[in-house]
Each structure stands twice: as structure tokens, then as C-alpha cells.
Amino acid sequence: MSPANRGRLIAVDPGTVRIGLAICDESRTLARPLDIVRRDAPDPIGRLSARILAEQPSQVIVGLPLLPDGSRGSKARQAERFAQRLREALAPIPVVMWDERYSTAEAHERLKEVGASRKKRRAPLDAMAAAVLLQSYLDAGTPPPSQSNETGA
């Protein structure tokens, strides 16, 4: 594994109520849900940054909710602003954006498949969506920032 492909990655799914986190193994093969940070918590970016830094990732991937046609709508622009605040808080750890279209729907289906009730699906949904996002990134070969959906915004 080259130096650019070492270390665990963390994915962040910036939902409107909860921010889901997922992490992968050292071999960058398998993503799993990690945690949830509530948006209404005091200093959510500070709490999120502390939680991320505790895992010592080599890179952070933030979900970019593109529209079905691949264009950026208001939610994507909000995610880009969120990613920029995270970049500032986590520097020098690289923060890139990755297309998260349908990750929440896929996470919902996965939780449904394992028999989680509707009420029990709500809490882990955001972390599971982050795991779906991260697995997509891993399956794409963990592209470098120049090939990701990074905006630099």
C-alpha cells in the first residue's frame, strides 16, 4: 500500500438533524458506522472534529448530495460550506467530498433488511448512511482529491 493509501478514513454524512460518521479498517476494505453527532449540540463542528481526531484518520470524506442529474442544488452548497468549516477545523487532514446520492435510502433499506423497526432505524440511519458513502468511496479505489468530487470550497 503506497503512503497515500495508508490509514483509516472517516466519512461524514451531514444530515439536517444528525451528522453520521463511519470509519473503515486499516486495509481500507470495509466501512462500518461509527457514531452520530447531533446538529443541535453545543458547538457541533468542535464536537465532530474532536470525535474525528480521536480516530486519527488520514483523510475525511464528506457526503455531497448531488441532484439526480449530477448538478449541485442548495443541499450540495450547504454540504460544501460544512466541508469547508471541517477543513479549517481538521487541517492538515485532507477533507474531500464524494457523491452521496441515494446513500440514505440505501442505509434505510439495509436497516430494514436486518429487521430493525421503524423507530430503531431512525437513530443509526445517519451513521449507516455515512458507512454507505464510505464504502462507495472505498469501492471506487479511494481516489485522490483531484479525482474525487472535492470542491475546495
Model confidence over 81-93: pLDDT tens digits? Answer: 999 999 999 999 9
Which range among 79-93, 96-110, 127-141 has the greatest average pLDDT?
79-93
Q: Is 73 contained in some domain? A: yes
Q: Is 116 contained in some domain? A: yes
Q: Which domain holds residue 67?
A: 3-143
Q: What are the contacts of 142-148 at 24+ separation with CB within 8 A?
A: 142/5, 142/9, 142/28, 142/59, 144/4, 145/94, 145/96, 148/61, 148/96, 148/97, 148/98
- Asked whether the predicted pLDDT for residue 8 surpasses 80, the reply is yes
- Asked whether the predicted pLDDT for residue 147 surpasses 70, the reply is no
pLDDT of residue 151: 43
State the average pLDDT over residues 107-127.
Answer: 61
What are the residues facing 98 on neighbouring strands?
A: 63
d(CA 115, CA 125): 13
Q: Is 148 contained in some domain? A: no
Q: Is 151 contained in some domain? A: no
Which carries the bigger pLDDT value, residue 66 or residue 145? 66
User: Number of folded domains in the chain?
Assistant: 1
Q: Is 97 contained in some domain? A: yes
d(CA 153, CA 145): 13
State the average pLDDT over residues 85-109.
Answer: 82
What's the CATH number where 117 sits? 3.30.420.140
Q: Give per-residue pLDDT as tens, 66-79.
A: 998 989 999 999 99
Specify the pTM.
0.81
